[in-house]
Structure 1
Amino acid sequence: MVPKQTSQANHQRTIYRPLVLLAPALTLGVIGDAALDFSMTLWLGAFASLMVLWGLLWWKRQERHASVCLLLVVAVFGGMLHHAHWNLYRSTELSCGLSPDKQPVALQGTVTDYPRFLPAKPPSSAFEFELANQWKVPFRIHQIRSGATWEAASGHTEIYVSGDTIDVHPGESILVFAQASCSEGALNPGEFDFANWARGKRRRTFLRSGFSECLQAIGTAEQPSRWNPIREARHYVSRELAAAIPPGLDGLAETIFLGRRERLSDATDEAFRQTGTVHLLALSGLHLGILALFAYWLLRFLPGPGWLPAVCLLLMTLGYVILVDARPPIVRASILVASFCVAMILFRRQVFWNSLAAAWIIVICWNPTEIFQAGTQLSFVAVASLAWLSGFLATRKKIDPLQKLIEESRPWPVKCTRVAARWLGGMFVASLVVWLVTLPLVLFHFHAASPWTIVLSPILIIPMGFALGGTLLLLAASIAVPIATPILSWLVSWPLWMMQETVSWTQQHAGLTFWSAGPPAWWVIGFYTVAAIVAWQMLTRRFPIRWSVAVVALWLMVGFVWGTLQAIESATRDDLVCTFVSVGHGTCVLVELPEGRHLLYDCGRLGSPKRACQSLSAVLWSKGIEHLDAVIISHDDADHYNGLPEVLERFSVGAVYCSDLMEKIPSDLVSSLLADINGRGIPLRTLSAGRTLQAHPSVGMTILHPTRKGVLGRDNANSIVLLIEYRGRRILLPGDLESPGTEGVIVERPIDCDIVMAPHHGSRHSHAESFYQWCQPEWIVVSSGSREIGGPENAQPGEPVWLNTAASGMIQIRLTAEGGAPQVNTWKK
C-alpha cells in the first residue's frame, strides 16, 4: 500500500505581517456599519455563523478558505464595534432626550477635571463681535430635575460658563442651572457635521451657563481614584507652562506639548493654517517622535543594563499618551515607539508595517469613528509615505567603497557641512513626498493647501524640536531644580518665538494659499488604492518606476477628465437653480443660471461671519463652483454681508453690486468692505429700481427697489428687491424689506411670483401680509436661525407653503427649461 502524500499538509507558511491583513478587514466592517447601519442582531448572527464555518474549515484543514473566513469574522467584529459605539447608550443618557433647540435644565453631577479658562479672543475683523471670557468645566451628569423630583440621568459633557472667575474643583458635586441642547447636524451639503462628530466622541450634550453663580457646590469632593495623579499631572504641566512662558507664547507652548489650543491666539492659528503648517499645531506622532528621540538620547547615559533605556522610554511614552488624553495620532505613534522599545528589550527586529497596522487596529478598538476624522487619516497616510520613501531609497542605495573612503578622508568641517546639506535635502524631499501624497486628502477635507508647507515644515521642525525638548527639561527642572526654571524658560521661549514669527511673516508678506472644490470621494479612495498597490510593487521591485508613474498619471487623468465633464455639463445646463443656504439668522442665496453662470445674493449672518462663509463655501464646493460672476449686497446690514470678505479670499468674483445709497452714504463697516473690494480690483457697480442684469437671454433679472434716492427710514426699507424670471416662473428676493419700502414696492402693478423669500427673515415687525397679497407666492422661504418662524399651523388649500432654513437646512428651487412647476428640495427631509 502506497502511503498518502502529506507534503502539502506538512508545508507550513509563515506570515510575518498578519496585522496588515487584519487591519483592512476590520476597517471594512466599520465602514460597512457606518454606511448600511445593520442591526446588532444581524451582526451577532453573522459573527456566530462565520465562527462555526471557520471551525469546520479549520477542522477539514482547508487553510486558505479558513483564512478568508477568519478575515470575514474580523470584518464583522469591526461592524459590531462601530454599531455598539454609535448606537448603544444607557437608558438614562440625557442627550437622547435633547434637541438642537436650547432648553433650561437643572442638573446634579460631578466635576471630573480642572476647569479650563478660555480667554476672550479679540475680534480679528470689524465684522466680528467681542465675546466674554469663558470657562470649560468637564462634567459627569448624575441627575436631572423634573418638576419637584430628581430623576436619574447620565452622560459626560462640558459646561461652558461665562465669567472671569469660577469656584469649582475636580471631584466636587455641584448643582448646575444651564441651557441644554444637543449638537446640530449639518444644514448644508459638504458642511462639517458637528452632530456626528459629537456622537463619535459620545459627548452629545451641550451645556451653557451665563454666570458662574449657576454652578453651586452641594457636597464634598469624591474620594481619590487611580486617575487622579494623571489629572493632577496634567494640571501641573498646564500651570507651569502658563507661569514660565511669556504671554503670547504660552498658548503655543501648551498647544504643541499638551494639544490644548484654547489659549492659542486666532492670529497665530490662522497664520499656521494659511502657510500649510497647521499640522505642527495638531498633536501628532511628530511631536512624540521628537520627544522620544530627545528622551532616548538622554536615557542612554543611564548606568545599567542595555535594556534599561528602552524600558524607561516605554514608560515615559505610556505616561505622555495618558497625559494628552490618548489622541489617535499619539496612540499611533506610541505603538511604533513601544514596538521599537520592545524590540530592543527582546533583541528582536521591529516590523514597521505590522506595527503601523497594530496602531490602526488599536485606534479602531478605542473609537471606531476616529478613522473617519481628517486628522487620523492624514497622520497615518503621512507616516506610511515616509516609511515607503525610506524603504524605497534603501532598496536603491548603492555604497561605493572608494567614494566612502574619500568622504572619510575629508576635513571635519567639510564632513559636517556635507552631512548637514544631505540631511536638509532629505528633509525637503520627505516634505515634498508627504505633501504630494496627502494633497488629495487635504483638498477633500479642507479645500485649501499651501506649497509653503514643503519649505517651512523642515525649517520649523528644528525650533519645534528645541521647544519640545526644552519644555521637557523645564518640567523636570521645576520639580528637581526650581531655581533653573527661569533660564530654561528663556531657552524655550526663543524657539517658540521663532516659530510664531516665521509663519506670521510668511503669511503677511508671501501668502500662498490656494482654494479648491477638491476631488470627489470616489476619486480619493481610488487614488490611495492605486498608490498603495503601486508603492508595494515598487518596494518589491516588481514594477518599473516608469510604469508606476504612468499608472498614477493615468488615475490623475481620470480625475481631470471627470472635472472637465462636470464643467461642460455646468456650461450646457438649461435650468435655473436657486439655493437658499442655511446660515442661521442671515441671508445667503445662490442663483445658478443656465450655461454655468453664478450669482450670489448676500452672504452674512448674525454672529460669526466665518460661519456664513463656511456654509456658503461648503455648498459651492459641493457643486464644484469656484467662481462667482456677480455678488449683490442687498443693504447696509451686517448679517447680509459680513461673510463676504472671506468669500473674496476663497473664490474669484466678477463684479459686486450694491445700491446707490450704500455707496454714497456708507457706514463704517460698509466702507471697510468697499475698500476691501476695491483693493482686490473687483469692479463695484450700483443698482436702482428699473435696472436689469443681463446674464442669459432667457433669464430676466429686474431691480424693483429702491430708487436712486431711496425712501425715508432704516436701511432695511432700502433693501434691493430682485425679481428673477425664467420660462414664465418668478423668484422674488426682497432682502430685509420693511415699511415704508414695502409700500413703495406694492404700489406698483402686482406681480404673481412662485417663490418669495420672507422679508426680514420672516419677522412679524416687517408687516409682510400686504406684501404677500401683492406677489401671491406659492412658496415662502424663511432664511432664519429660529425654527419657530413659519406659516399658520393649519394652512388652508391654496395658501402658500412655508419653508425655514433653520428647520429644513439648505432649500433648493429648480426651474426647468420646460417651464413646469418649480421643483423644491430641502437638505433635511
Structure 2
Amino acid sequence: MTHRDYAWLAPVAALALAAGIWIGRSAAGWLVFIPLLLCAAAACWLLRWPQRFAAVQAVVLAVGCLLGYAAYHPSLPREGEYTVSGVVAEEIRLREDGQVRTLLRGVRLNGQSLLSGAYWSFYLREGETLPEGLAPGCSVTLTARVYHPSPASNPGGYDFREYLLQKNVTIGVYGVEELHTADGWHPLGIAAAIRHSLTQGLISAMGETAGGYASTMLLGSQHLIPDEDRQAFSRLGIAHILSVSGFHVSVLAGLVNWLFRRLRLSRKARFWSSGALLAFYCLLAGLSAPVIRAALLFLLYEFGALRHRQRSSLHLLCVSFLAQLLVSPVQLTSMSFHLTYGAMLGLTLVTPWLCSLWEPRRFRRVWSTLCAALGAQVGVLLPGLYWFQELPVLGILLNTVVLGAATGLIILCWVVLFLLPVPALATFVGQLTAGLMNGMLVAVGEMSSWPGITIWTCQGGLLTAAAWAALLLAMSWWWPGRRRWLGLVLSVVVLAASVYPWPDTGSRYVQLSVGEADAAVLQDQGYHVAIDTGEDGEELAGYLHQRRISLDALVLTHLHTDHAGGVAELMSRDIPIKTCYLPWDALETQADEDVMDMLAELAASGTELVELGRGERIELPNGSITVLWPEAGKVRQEQEANESSLTLLAEVRGSTLLLTGDLSGTYEMYAAAPADVLKAAHHGSENSTSQEFLQAVAPEMLILSCGDEARSLSMEERRGDIPMADTRRDGCITIEFQTDGFNVETMW
C-alpha cells in the first residue's frame, strides 16, 4: 500500500462517514448495522489491497450508521413534572409576547444527572419582570414540565428538535414554579456570564446597535441581530458575516500569530500558545460548532508546519470533517456545517485553478483575493440554494469588498473589547468603530432593496448536488484540460435546470401544521391559492419560498391574527400575491388592528383586495372554489368576525373539499354541503362542527388544524367513524387529488 493509497483514505472515508450518518438518521433501528460492521471488519482482516480499501470504507460506513442512529435517536427521560436543576449557559432572551428562554447545562432531573443540556422556557405575566437573581451563569432549581422537542411538522420546515440536538440539548423544560437561584460553577455557565458582561461592555462603548453587532461577530450573540437585518445580509449573499465562523476565527488567529511573531516566539511556542488561546475562545463562544471547526482547521495546518510535513489542504479539510462528525454526528445536517465546508472546499479545489488562469505582474494580491472570493462562492452555491433558495447576483464582488471591510471592523471590535478596562479609551475607539459599522449597515440595507439583487430559485435537491459536485471537479486540477470547459458548461446547465421552477401538473391540498392557527395551500396545475396564513406566516412563507411559488390568490377566511397575521411575513419574503380575497363586508366588521394595517400595506404593494359572498366562484384549471358563506343580510355587523368566516367548497378533479374557517355552530348549517373531505371549523372547538353538521356533509375524511390537546380529544369524540387527520398529532396533511379519487398523506 503506497503513500498515495493512504492519502485517498481520508476523502473517501469522509464521504462514507457522512453517508452512514445520513442513513442512521432515518433508520428505524441500529441492530441491522451490526452485521455490516462485523462483515466489513472481517474483510479488512482477510482481504488484500485494493479490496481492503473498499472494506475500510465499509467499516466507516457502518460506524457512521451506528453513530447517526445514536445521535439522532437519543435516549430520553419520560415526559412529566420534575424537579430540575442546572446552570444558565446562554443569554436569557425575552420575546415581545413575554416568553423567556435560555439553555441549561449540568442538568439534573429529580437528582439524576442528564448527559445533555435542556431548553428552558416560561412566560412572564403582563407587567412582570425577570425573577430576581436570574442571569447567565447562575444555578437554578425549579419545578417544571419536561417534554420532548418536536421534529419538523411541515415539509422542509424548521426542525426544532435537530436544532437543539446540534447544541447537545435533548429535552425541553417548561415552567418556573418554586424557582431558586444561586451562583453557578459550570464552565459553560461561567463562559456565559463572561460573554454577557463583555456584551454589555461593548454596547456601553459602541451603542446598542453597533455593540450588538460587535458581540455577534466576536462572541456569537445571534439574538442581538434584528431579523430584517439578517434578511438583508442574506439577500446579498454575505450572511456569514453575522455569525462567528471560519472567517472570524481566521482573523483572530491571524492577529494572535502576528502578535506572537512580534514577540519572537518559536514556532512550537506559537503553536501551543495559539492552541490554548483558541481553546479558551471556543469555550467563551459556548463551544459553538463553527468556532471549533475553524480552530481545528487552523491548528491542523499549524501542526503540519510544525512537523515539517507536506500539507494538503484537501486532506486537512477531510481530517477536520471526520473529527467533527465523529464527535458530533448531528452537525451533518447543520446549515453552518454545510456553509463552512462548502466554502473551504471551494477555496481548496477551485481557487488554485482560477489563479492559474492569469498571472498578472501587478495587482497579484487583488487577483488572488478575487479568485478566493469566487472559489468560496462556488463552494457555498449548493448550501445557498438548499437553505436560502437564492442566488446573489453581486455575491462575488460584495464578498470581496465586504470581507475586507469586515476584517477591519472585526479587528477594531477586538481592540474595543481589550480596551474595556479603560472606559474612556474604549468609548473613543468604540464610537469610531460604531460610525464605520453603521455606515456598512446603511449600505447593506440600501443594496438589499435593489430590484433583481438576487435570483429566486427552487430548493436544490440530489440533482443539484450532483451538478454542483461536477462543477467543483470541472473547476479543479483533477479535470482533464481538453474536456474541462465541456464539463463546466454541462454542470452549469444541469445545475440551473435542477432549480428552475418547472410547471407542476399535479393537484393537491396542503394543510400546514401551525399550532392553534390556520394556513393551507391549494395547488391545481400551476394555479396556487393560499387559504389563511397562520399567526406569524413563517411556515407558509417557507413552504412557498422553497418551491418558488407565487400566489395567484390569497384567501383570508376572516381577519383574526391566527388566520391573517402572517401577511406581513409573506410581504417581507417577497412572495408575489395577485389577489387577496376577503369575506363580504370584512373591512367594516370586527378585525384586528394589526391585520388591517397589513392589508393596507398589501394593497399599496399592488395586490388587489376583493370581498366575496355566497355564490361567487374562483375558477381553477381542473375545478372551482365556490363561496357558501357569508351571505349578505344574514350576519349583523357587530357580530364576531368568526361568524363571517369564508366557507369554501373546492372541487378539484372530481373530488370536493369543504373549508369552514372559524365558522361557529350558529351559522354552520347555512354552509352545509356534501363533501368528500371536511376541514373542521375553529380548530375543533365544541361550538362548531356539530354532529348535525357532520351528518349533513357526510365526509369520507375529516382534517383538523389544531394545537390544543383538549380540542383534538373533543373532535375525536364527535367524529364517530369518520377517519381524521390532526396536525397536532400527524403534522402537515397533504391530500393528492386524482381523477379517480384522492389520497391522504401525513408528515408523521
**TM-score between both structures, scaled by the size of structure 2:** 0.88
Residue 527 of structure 2 aligns with an amino acid whose one-letter code is R
1:686 to 592, 611, 616: 611
What is the percent sequence identity of the aligned residues? 20
**1:382, distance to aligned residue in structure 2 (A):** 0.9
Corresponding position of 2:49: 63
Distance in structure 2 (CA, Å) of the matches to 1:729 and 1:707: 25
Are positions 1:215 and 2:179 aligned together?
Answer: yes
Q: Report the Cα distance in structure 1 between the residues aligned to 2:149 and 2:335, rounded to whole angstroms.
A: 19
| Aligned mates of 1:185, 1:630 — CA distance in 2 | 30
1:707-758 C-alpha deviation (Å, 9 max, x unpaired): 3445112111111221223566432212111265336x16xxx632222222
1:377 is aligned, of 338, 341, 344, to 338
Query: Any idea what the Cα deviations from partners look like across 1:495-528, whole Å, max 9, x if unmatched?
Result: 43233222223335668344333232x2133123
Asked whether 1:725 is paired with 2:651, we answer yes
Contact 1:627/1:651 (<8 A) preserved: yes
Is the 8 Å Cα contact of residues 101 and 119 (structure 2) preserved in structure 1? no
Q: Does structure 2 retain, via aligned residues, the 8 Å contact 1:787–1:804? A: no
Residue matched to 1:591: 522
Encode CA deviations 1:179-200: one digit per residue, 9 max, x unaligned. Answer: 4322112222221222233345
* Alpha-carbon contact 1:466-1:495 (below 8 Å) kept: no
Match in the other structure for 1:615: 539
SS of corresponding position for 2:531: strand
**C-alpha distance in 1 between matches for 2:561 and 2:189:** 48
1:658 maps onto 2:600 in alignment: no
Question: Cα RMSD between the aligned structures?
Answer: 3.4
Amino acid at match of 2:710: E
- Could you tell me which residue of structure 2 aligns to residue 626 of structure 1? 549
User: Residue 616 and residue 56 in structure 1: after superposition, are their counterparts in 2 closer, same or farther (change >3 A)?
Assistant: same
Q: Which of 12, 28, 34 matches 2:25?
A: 34
Deviation string for 1:189-234 (max 9, x for gaps)? 2212222333454412112335xx74214xx767x67778756654
Q: Which moved more, 1:447-456 or 1:457-466?
A: 447-456
Out of 224, 232, 249, which is 2:210 matched to?
Answer: 249
Q: Is the 8 A contact 2:137 2:191 kept in 1?
A: no
Among candidates 641, 644, 660, match of residue 715 of structure 1: 641
Q: CA deviation at 1:615?
A: 2.0
Q: Which of these residues, 47, 72, 79, is aligned with residue 86 of structure 1?
A: 72
Superposed displacement of residue 762, structure 1: 1.6
Shift of 1:54: 2.2
Question: Contact conserved, 1:534 with 1:543, CA < 8 A, in 2?
Answer: no
1:425 positional shift: 5.5
CA distance in structure 1 between the aligned counterparts of 2:114 and 2:379, rounded to whole angstroms: 47
Structure 1 stretch displaced more, 728-737 or 11-20: 11-20
Alignment correspondent of 2:676: 754
What is the match of residue 289 of structure 1? Answer: 250
Moved more, 63-72 or 579-588: 63-72
Q: How does 1:187-266 map to 2 (within 5 A)?
A: 187-209=153-175, 214-217=178-181, 234=195, 237-266=198-227
Question: Are residue 518 (structure 1) and residue 518 (structure 2) matched?
Answer: no
The match for 1:73 is: 59
- The residue aligned with 1:447 is 389
**AA paired with 1:180?**
V
Q: Within 1, Cα distance between the matches of 2:249 and 2:614?
A: 63
What is the match of residue 51 of structure 1? Answer: 41
- Deviation string 1:582-627 (CA, Å, 9 cap, x unpaired) is 211222232223x43222222223xxx1xxx3322444467x4613
Say if 2:474 is the partner of 1:534. yes
Give the drift of 1:670. Answer: 4.2
Aligned CA distance change for structure 1 residues 486 and 766 (closer, same or farther; 3 Å): same
SS at match of 1:661: coil
> Where do 5+ consecutive residues of structure 2 fail to align?
none
Map residues 354-365 of structure 1 onto 2, 5 A cutoff: 354-365=315-326
Displacement of 1:785 in angstroms is 1.4
Aligned position for 2:744: 824
Distance 1:173 1:288 in 2: 30
Residue 705 of structure 1 is matched in structure 2 by: 629
Match of 1:503 among 434, 439, 444: 444
Compare 653-662 and 783-792 and name the one that shifted more: 783-792
Q: In the TM superposition, what is the alpha-carbon distance from 1:366 to its structure 2 partner?
A: 1.7
Matched residue SS, 1:268: helix
Query: Which SS does the other structure have where 1:586 is aligned?
Result: coil
1:512 aligned partner, one-letter code: I
Displacement after TM superposition at 1:337 (Å): 1.7
Question: Structure 1 residues 511 and 268 mapped into 2: Cα distance closer, same or farther (>3 Å)?
Answer: farther
Kept in 2: contact 1:463–1:495 (CA 8 A): no
Q: Match of 1:546?
A: 485
1:346-377 deviations in Å (ceiling 9; x for gaps): 44443211211111011111201212222101
C-alpha deviation, 1:76, in angstroms: 2.5
**Match for 2:620 among 695, 707, 730?**
695
The TM-score with structure 1 as length reference comes to 0.80
3-state DSSP of counterpart to 1:109 = strand
Contact 2:9 2:53 (8 Å CA) reproduced: no
- What is the Cα deviation at residue 792 of structure 1? 6.5
Partner Cα separation in structure 1 for residue 716 and residue 175 of structure 2: 37
What secondary structure does 1:765 align onto? coil
Contact conserved, 2:153 with 2:732, CA < 8 A, in 1?
Answer: yes
- What is the rounded CA distance, in whole Å, between the counterparts of 1:580 and 1:702 in structure 2? 19
Kept in 1, the 8 Å contact 2:589–2:641? The answer is no
Report the residue type matching 2:744 in the other structure: V
* 1:398-477 aligned within 5 A: 398=359, 419=363, 423-424=365-366, 426-477=368-419
User: d(CA) in 1 for partners of 2:135 and 2:570?
Assistant: 44
Bigger Cα displacement from structure 2, 655-664 vs 502-511? 502-511
**SS of corresponding position for 2:635:** coil
> Aligned in 2, Cα 1:476/1:344: closer, same or farther, shift over 3 Å?
farther
Confirm whether residue 646 of structure 1 aligns to residue 552 of structure 2: no
Structure 2 equivalent of residue 738 of structure 1:
664
Over residues 414-449 of structure 1, what are the superposed CA-to-partner deviations in whole Å (9 max), with x where a residue is unaligned? xxxx64xx6456544543443344233322222234
Deviation at 1:640, TM superposition (A): 1.4
**Relative to structure 2, which stretch is displaced further, 802-811 or 196-205?**
196-205
CA distance in 2, matches of 1:557, 1:778: 42
SS of match in other structure, 1:191: coil
2:603 is the counterpart of 1:674: no
Contact 2:138/2:183, CA 8 A, preserved across alignment: yes
- CA 1:590 to 1:171, structure 2 compared with 1: closer, same or farther past 3 Å? closer
Where 1:784 maps in the other structure, the secondary structure is coil
Q: Could you say which residue in structure 2 is the equivalent of 1:602?
A: 532
Bigger Cα Rg: 1
**Equivalent in the alignment of 1:116:** 91
Output the CA distance in 2 between the equivalents of 1:639 and 1:796: 24
DSSP-derived class of the 1:723 partner: strand
Asked whether the 8 Å contact 1:272–1:278 carries over to 2, the reply is yes
State the SS of the aligned residue for 2:174.
strand
1:381 partner amino acid: G
Q: More deviation in 228-237 or 757-766?
A: 228-237
Q: What is the aligned partner in structure 2 of residue 175 from structure 1?
A: 141
Contact preservation (8 Å) 2:191, 2:285 = no
1:251-294 deviation line (CA, Å, top 9, x unaligned): 21111111121233334333323333211112110111112222
Shift of 1:311: 4.4
